[in-house]
Structure 1
Amino acid sequence: KEVERVQRPGEGRVGALGDLLAENKAKKQEEFDKIIHDNRFCPPKALDDDEVNFLGEKEREIRERERQREEEERRTQREFRLEQAEQKTEKDSIDLAKIMGQKRKHAETNAQSSILSKLISANRKTGAELSGEKKQRQAEPAGGNALSGLA
């Protein structure tokens, strides 16, 4: 009979294999149900020292990484603010140089205008003095003495 089973493996064993699989599945389900039932009513087990140390170390690593990240962020912000201040200072100095250049040009123009104004007014005064002298000369022969008109 063993020879027949080897030659025809599928005949009698198909039913036996299906039964075996069903039994294994039922056993696993019972074990699973028992574990679930037991865990529902049992408090969780306490952590041992190794687990506590491991979790503590992980927490310290997380805090250290967070501290380093915050420090890096503060440093980056500080550098950014300094760069902005330097750029603003450079821009202000460039603007100031432009303004000073404009003021110098304006001052030079004003100085030139002032000099021209003084020359023109001096010429006017000189012209007025000359015309006043001409008037006095013309008045002198008619009146005689220039001092007589002042008294």
Structure 2
Amino acid sequence: MICAVHAVIGAAIGKAANHPGKAFAGGVASHLIGDLTPHKDLSAKVELPLLAVTVFLIFLKYGIKSPEFWGAVGGFSPDFENAAWMFGLTKKEDCRFPTHMQNGKFHAPSVSTAVPQVILVAACLYYLLRPTNKRD
């Protein structure tokens, strides 16, 4: 799944968790669920700038101490091992996250469209950006 999508899903979970530590853990858990969803992967040349912009915007909107920010970080953090593999720093068989393991039995099949991810992002952005009624 596109890393920026993992980050947005994690940010939405962070909003629901309302605690940075729980948000981070929820973000990591959401990565597993995201990878189980049929999706299209992008090249690192596209993924990295897209992720950087996404995380920067979440940082600007919510701040570095917010559950939204830490949910986003948790959401994309499992992909550090994929990045290490893609850049030749480790071997694929060294991956430990269930959906990243070499046999790939937990990873969803690739699809030719990003529509499932666009739908997930739209739903998460709606949740993140909608006005909330805070009770006094």
Q: TM-score, normalised by structure 1?
A: 0.16
> Which of structures 1 and 2 has the larger relative contact order (alpha carbons within 8 angstroms, sep 6+)?
2
Q: TM-score, normalised by structure 2?
A: 0.18
